[in-house]
Amino acid sequence: MSAEYGADQIQILEGLEAVRKRPGMYIGSTSARGLHHLVYEIVDNAVDEALAGYCDTIDVTIHKDNSVTVIDNGRGIPVGINHKAGIPAVEVVFTILHAGGKFGGGGYKVSGGLHGVGASVVNALSTWLEVTIFTEGKMYRQRYERGKAMYKLKVVGDCDPERTGTMVTFHPDPEIFEETVFDFDTLKQRFREIAFLTKGLKIIARDERTEEPKEKSFHYEGGIREFVAYLNKSKTPLYEDILYFEGMKENVMVEVAMQHNDSYTENSYGFVNNINTPEGGTHIVGFRNALTKTFNDYAKKNKLIKEGESLSGEDIREGLTAIISVKIEDPQFEGQTKQKLGNSEARRAVDNVVGDQLEIFLEQNPAVAKIIVEKSLLSQRARDAARKARELTRRKSALEGMSLPGKLADCMDKDPRNCEIYLVEGDSAGGSAKTARSRATQAILPLRGKILNVEKARLDKIYANAEIKAMITAFGTGIHDDFDITKLRYHKIIIMTDADVDGAHIATLLLTFLYRFMPELIKQGHVYLAKPPLFKIERNKKIYYAYTEQEQEQILNEIGRDGNNRIQRYKGLGEMDAEQLWETTMDPERRVLMRVTMDEETSSEVDLTFTTLMGDKVEPRREFIEENANKVIDLDI
């Protein structure tokens, strides 16, 4: 270490050592998720510059060696000496823990928020990182290795005096990360979201790892209005307008866009400083309050509802797609996972902005107002019918003592941790599965024919559906407000369908039901897809099973390709006898299971996956399957 490095600097290095010792504390995990957070952290710094009004383009490139370059056209991180630290400001940003958020002061920052940990954390977790600043006709550069500066900030050349901005390239450290390969789709999804939330900002994403480099650009002048249009693209809107409200109250910047479609589920997403808040919080409470109050006032005033009647919030939000985005200087996150916004001024701000502007919109657009109120009334009627049906079943089960569905072949073990339930398509496959199963721990629930598409049915119809009732009672958890995961009777819920298009469709219908009504089961990893074999190869009385085409090739290469092979392509589970079904798909020692996962960070995309696959519009669906062929097959929602 050179003499110029004083006591402060030594402390700084220890700070970054701490990041390398416990990376999980700073970026959540060292899995693929943590890896991708590195990119978001750097990009968020550039987004802050865009929010401040000085940057309109961010360019992100993944290189062949999995290093990533982020370039913005902002003012450039200051290169002058920071007097408190005695080193250039840019060096402070990259070598002092938590320096990022405070830097520059004032304004709204998306970095340093919920995931925001500062650029120094990215630096500490990279084998190397290089920053270049373009300012006043010069290029300044500094390089770091595992967080340590290799030389003092220096001028490395001239640039166009008009050009300003910051360029950062970093290479994630394989000593830290279990996974060091970036997924272009994951990054693109997040960039699309950022671009929707930051109107006017253009984000260009490039992947140089393929022979033909890929490039995708995201740029939405309409901001979150276009986000709502995107989320509704495979649905049928109830009216043309996308309602948009914007304002600033108590230092909270509020932006809301919304539109109803003809579906029966709500599809709203809250964001605080560009970060998704799946747990909700004060901003969502404020939005809901304003919606409920304004619609009820309007409906009463215009005699659209009877004296003494009122619309519930849930009924008004049936089929609603909305984005609620707030920017706030000092967000406070609460709750177990620290994901729920707690600032009370955010509630008041959203409530006021939406309340005032929605009232005006309804007065000026009575036709749209009427459509929404009528939809709410229909929802109310269906909800009443559903509640009556539910109360009836509740009363019945109280009398009879929670009887399990008749078609269920339950297992003997009573410890849910050991138990599995197979949801099997069709009575005949269900029969084989009942014979094949290990009765101690495996339960079988055969489901008949096509499963109800919950995206296209109202609550009353859903609760009346025999298949759905059977699943709810078998799982034991209840649904919606009654949902209680501690009552789950099987820790593995395994969907077993034919390995063909119909089977995939049925699996998707079942997943849609679970996602809409019991999302915790998916979030906590209880849901699986069984993978039946595609081929049976028989050779000299020996049997081999192949689960993919490639596997079949591999087996044939190993055992030899001559007239002694008998190859059967399985078209459905029904073609297997019980013993084969056990060997290939149910025996815990030999079967292949795929756990269904979902990334909460991009839950708006999960929703789009379902509505695209399940909705009525054919075009967007085809497009989706083509773009995401692998994902559809993996069903990794």
Binding site for ligand TTJ (CB under 6 A): 42, 45-46, 49, 70, 72, 74-75, 77-78, 93, 104, 119, 166, 168
Q: In whole angstroms, what is the distance from residue 126 CA to residue 118 CA?
A: 13
Smallest distance from the beta carbon of 51 to ligand TTJ, in angstroms?
11
Q: Of 92 and 573, which CB lies nearer to ligand TTJ in the complex structure?
A: 92
Smallest distance from the beta carbon of 104 to ligand TTJ, in angstroms?
3
Give me the amino acid identity at 413: D
Q: In whole angstroms, what is the distance from residue 424 CA to residue 445 CA?
A: 6
CA atoms within 13 A on the CB side of 140: 18
**What is Dmax (Cα atoms) for the chain?**
84
Smallest distance from the beta carbon of 129 to ligand TTJ, in angstroms?
10
Return the H-helix or E-strand segment holding 562: none
Q: Of 80 and 563, which CB lies nearer to ligand TTJ in the complex structure?
A: 80
Q: Of 131 and 275, which CB lies nearer to ligand TTJ in the complex structure?
A: 131
Q: Which of 152, 159, 104 shows the shortest CA–CA distance to 134?
A: 159
Kindly give the interhelix angle for 501-517 and 603-614, rounded to the nearest 10 degrees. Answer: 130
Q: Of 74 and 281, which CB lies nearer to ligand TTJ in the complex structure?
A: 74
> Burial level of 621, CB count in 10 A (0-12/13-18/19+)?
middle
Smallest distance from the beta carbon of 218 to ligand TTJ, in angstroms?
17
The one catalytic residue among 226, 425, 455, 601: 425
Q: What is the DSSP string of 370-422?
A: HHHHHHHHHHHHHHHHHHHHHHHHHHHHHHHT-PPPTT-B--S---GGG-EEE
Return the H-helix or E-strand segment holding 286: helix 282-301
Q: Of 102 and 450, which CB lies nearer to ligand TTJ in the complex structure?
A: 102
Q: Of 126 and 277, which CB lies nearer to ligand TTJ in the complex structure?
A: 126
Helix (H, G, I), strand (E, B) or coil at 522: helix
Instruction: Please confirm, yes or no, whether 315 is among the known catalytic residues.
Output: no
Q: Of 76 and 319, which CB lies nearer to ligand TTJ in the complex structure?
A: 76
Return the H-helix or E-strand segment holding 537: strand 535-539
Smallest distance from the beta carbon of 376 to ligand TTJ, in angstroms?
46
Smallest distance from the beta carbon of 57 to ligand TTJ, in angstroms?
12
Smallest distance from the beta carbon of 178 to ligand TTJ, in angstroms?
25
Instruction: Tell me how far the alpha carbon of residue 427 is from its chain's centroid.
Output: 35
Tokens of 418: 């050991």
Instruction: Please confirm, yes or no, whether 500 is among the known catalytic residues.
Output: yes
Instruction: Please confirm, yes or no, whether 498 is among the known catalytic residues.
Output: yes
Q: What is the DSSP string of 469-497?
A: HHHHHHH-S--GGG--GGG-S-SEEEEE-
> Burial level of 289, CB count in 10 A (0-12/13-18/19+)?
middle
Q: Of 70 and 349, which CB lies nearer to ligand TTJ in the complex structure?
A: 70
Helix (H, G, I), strand (E, B) or coil at 33: helix
The one catalytic residue among 14, 500, 577, 616: 500
Please give the torsion angle defined by the CA atoms of residues 294, 295, 296 and 298, in that order, rounded to the nearest 10 degrees. Answer: 80
Instruction: Please confirm, yes or no, whether 482 is among the known catalytic residues.
Output: no
Q: What is the DSSP string of 91-114?
A: HHHHHSTTHHHHTT-SS--STTSS
Smallest distance from the beta carbon of 598 to ligand TTJ, in angstroms?
29
The answer to whether residues 70 and 58 touch, using CB atoms and an 8 Å cutoff, is yes
Q: Of 74 and 503, which CB lies nearer to ligand TTJ in the complex structure?
A: 74
Q: Of 52 and 578, which CB lies nearer to ligand TTJ in the complex structure?
A: 52
The one catalytic residue among 59, 226, 351, 498: 498
The one catalytic residue among 14, 175, 297, 502: 502
Give 575-612 as a 3 state SS string: HCCHHHHHHHHHCCCCCCEEECCCCHHHHHHHHHHHHH
Sheet holding 492-496, edge to edge: 442-447, 420-425, 492-496, 527-530, 593-595
Smallest distance from the beta carbon of 22 to ligand TTJ, in angstroms?
22
Helix (H, G, I), strand (E, B) or coil at 9: helix
Smallest distance from the beta carbon of 65 to ligand TTJ, in angstroms?
19
**Catalytic positions, written as ranges:** 425, 498, 500, 502
